[in-house]
Each structure stands twice: as structure tokens, then as C-alpha cells.
Amino acid sequence: MNKSVVIISALLFLATPAAAQYPRLAPSVKPLPQKLVPELFEKIETKEEIPLLLLYQALVGPQTTLRAYAATALGEHGNRTSIAYLIDALADDSVHVGANYREAGMATTRYRANESLKKLTGKDFGFVWNDPAEQRQEAIARWREWYNKGRSR
């Protein structure tokens, strides 16, 4: 394999959302097809009902702003199956720029995923979007532990 292809592949892997130290909790989904991105942005902006699969696909796709918006939409339209996807999204290190939000964290998928998790579950495990990575990982571990305990019942 060409050396530059290997380097580019490694960089793409590192930039992938939720590339964390844990295996994914949520079932694997393919990223949202590019041709559906404009339509999904419109549905999110108009607060239309959106099939959950499309939101899950957006949450793992390459568009950073769409990932953040999908995390918010899951807090509004999601259900118990959304929780694993949102916990995985807590490890997303991306930040989208160019918007004026009332809170700085709103430009991150992980902030929005945490807000949606709290909304859907009524739980808060101390995740803070701008804490050092080690503290965020500890909070993610608490979310994962809570989630896995619930699945084993």
C-alpha cells in the first residue's frame, strides 16, 4: 500500500467521530449518504419528524455541524435506542465554527449529545464538554456503566 494512502487513512481514522478508547455501544451504521445531507439539514431546521436511522447516520458522518445538530434532534425525537448512539457521541472531539451560540459548547457534538442524554434519561454523570480528555473519559465510563447495567436487566 502506498505510504501516503496509509498516512491519510490514519488521519481520517483519528478524525472520525467517537474514535475513543472504548468499543462502540451502538450498532454500526453507515454515514448518511451525501445526497441526503441538505434534506436532513432542512428537516432539522424546520423541526420535522425525522426517522431515527437518518439521525444515527448523521451522528457518525463526516459533517461536523450535522453531527451536532443530529445529537440535538435525538434529544427531541429519540428514544431508548438513541442512548447508545449519544453515549458514543460523547467522545466526538470535533468543533464546528462560524456560528454564534449562546454557549460555547453548543459548537460541539459532545456538548449536544450530553444535553440530549440528560433530556432522554433524566441522568447526569458529570460530563462537561470542555473538561480535560481524561475527565471526559471518566464521565463517559460512568454513562457506559449505567447503560450496560440497564441492558443486563
Q: Which is higher by pLDDT, 34 or 2?
A: 34
Cα(73)–Cα(6) distance, rounded to whole angstroms? Answer: 35
Whether residue 127 lies inside any domain: the answer is: yes
Q: What gap in Å lies between CA 95 and CA 107, rounded to an integer?
A: 6
Q: How far apart are the first and last CA of the chain?
A: 46
Q: What is the pLDDT of residue 3?
A: 53
Per-residue model confidence as pLDDT tens digits over 100-151: 677 767 788 999 999 999 999 999 999 999 999 999 999 999 999 999 998 7
Does 4 reside within a domain? no
Q: Residue 13: pLDDT band by 50, 70, 90 thresholds? A: very low
Confidence of residue 8 (pLDDT cuts 50, 70, 90): very low
Statement: the pTM of the whole predicted model exceeds 0.85: no
Q: How many CA atoms lie within 13 A of 20 on its CB side?
A: 24
Domain that holds residue 145: 23-151
pLDDT of residue 14: 42
Classify residue 37: in a domain, yes or no.
yes
How far apart CA 109 and CA 60 sit, in angstroms, is 10
Number of domains forming the structure of the chain = 1
Pairwise CA distance, residues 108 & 111, whole Å: 5
Is residue 18 included in any domain, yes or no?
Answer: no
Residue 65 lies in a domain: yes
Q: For 97, left (φ over 0), alpha (ψ -120 to 50), or beta?
A: beta
2 found inside a domain = no
Residue 15: inside a domain: no
Whether 6 is covered by a domain: the verdict is: no
Whole-number Å distance between alpha carbons of 60 and 30: 8
